Amino acid sequence: MSGKPPSEYSRLRTVSARARLRPKAQLTLPEEIRSALRVNEGDEIEFRVGEDGTITVRGYISVPADHAWLYIPRPGTRRTPDRDLADGQAGVHESADALFVYLQALGAAGG
């Protein structure tokens, strides 16, 4: 996902657009729809048809498996990466080189 909670999606303006169904049932989402759904090439789209014929479309942003830990709550905590940063439990480095220097020092210290 984009990292934005569902409540922020409810504040989006109403967007409407049309697209023509091509051979093999292919459809290109218009730019304004892709933008409203916050999706890009490679992201997943869910279509749900309700009993009344209403169609709901939601975008999903794929997360690489080795990054999933960032989005999974740790047992017994309600922490998030943003909260860790605010509480000093995480840091920001000015460059990739600075990050690697920090990680090497951490490894040498047994951390």
The CATH number given to whatever domain includes residue 13 is 2.10.260.10
Residue 80, in any domain of the structure: yes
Both 16 and 56 in one domain: the answer is yes
Residue 66, in any domain of the structure: no
Both 56 and 96 in one domain: the answer is no
Both 38 and 16 in one domain: the answer is yes
Euclidean distance between CA atoms 53 and 48, whole angstroms: 9
Q: What is the number of structural domains in the chain? A: 2
5-45 pLDDT per residue, tens: 554 455 556 888 999 999 999 999 999 998 888 888 888 89
Both 11 and 51 in one domain: the answer is yes
Both 47 and 80 in one domain: the answer is no
102 and 93 Cβ atoms separated by less than 8 Å = yes
Residue 67, in any domain of the structure: no
12 and 35 Cβ atoms separated by less than 8 Å = no
3-state DSSP: the chain helix, strand, coil percent, rounded to 5? 35, 15, 50
Residue 1, in any domain of the structure: no
45-84 pLDDT per residue, tens: 999 999 999 998 888 877 778 877 777 766 666 666 677 7
Q: What is the pLDDT of residue 48?
A: 92
Domain that residue 91 falls in:
74-108
89 and 77 Cβ atoms separated by less than 8 Å = no
CA 5 from centroid of its chain's CA atoms: 10
Residue 68, in any domain of the structure: no
Contacts of 45 by beta carbon, 8 Å cutoff, 6+ apart: 29, 37, 39, 57, 58, 59, 60
Phi/psi of residue 78, nearest 5 degrees: -125, 35
